[in-house]
Copies of this chain bind each other. A is one copy, B any other.
């Protein structure tokens, strides 16, 4: 039986905590990791503070199979993630030839100076393996089980192309959703709770929604079944559809994953 493989995500940047920037990288990472059989178990948003990054990386890399960081690897003074990850691993860090070999032709071709700021992006911890960046050249890196990536969403997603081959996933968590317009969460709770109790190998989630239909508010609930065993998910989805019908509502199940 395939094993359970877990990950943590560290989203780095003052701008996430100040509300200036809405994170979307966590969802992109989840969408990327789920089908590989890697389950994100926790995510943290932390500020650009060296000691905080070091401590968070060390706590989470010990607890999970993989850690993914986003943010803080650009050319400016507040980009301190690479140095912090090097410190977390007790490694030295400096401009590295392999990173320079990527950056120099990129900026030469654009007639832009490879100045001190841009050289910061060639600073890679000793022993790390580069993660290629097809969007804007400046690489991320993998150090042990920690993947250090850019914070700009398009660049982060681009880097994932060079990450998948390095991931040894486990059992995939299967997930299906039943949308139940007109069925209120408060009415579903008893039969859903009984199903959850009878099916401990599944995780059942319930998410209420409101939407306007022809000027009227329609209440409804999205019901999600998750399990590493696909047959268990299918069993739960059939049972959930019966629950929804018993409440006089019409269930809509999504196509299988």
Contacts and interface: CB of A to CB of B under 8 A. Distances in A.
A240 to B, nearest CB: 12
Determine chain A's interface SS by DSSP, over half rule. Answer: mixed
Q: State the copy count for this chain.
A: 2
Contacts of A224: 15, 20
Given A42-B44, A117-B190, A78 B206 contact: yes
Interface stretch (A23-31, A92-100, A231-239): A23-31
A42 B120 CA distance: 26
A42 B185 CA distance: 31
Interface of A: 13-24, 26-31, 34, 39-48, 52, 74-78, 107, 112-113, 115-118, 120, 152, 154, 173, 175, 177, 184-190, 192-193, 196-197, 203-208, 210, 224, 226
Contact of A175 (B18, B41, B113): B18
Nearest to A184: B112
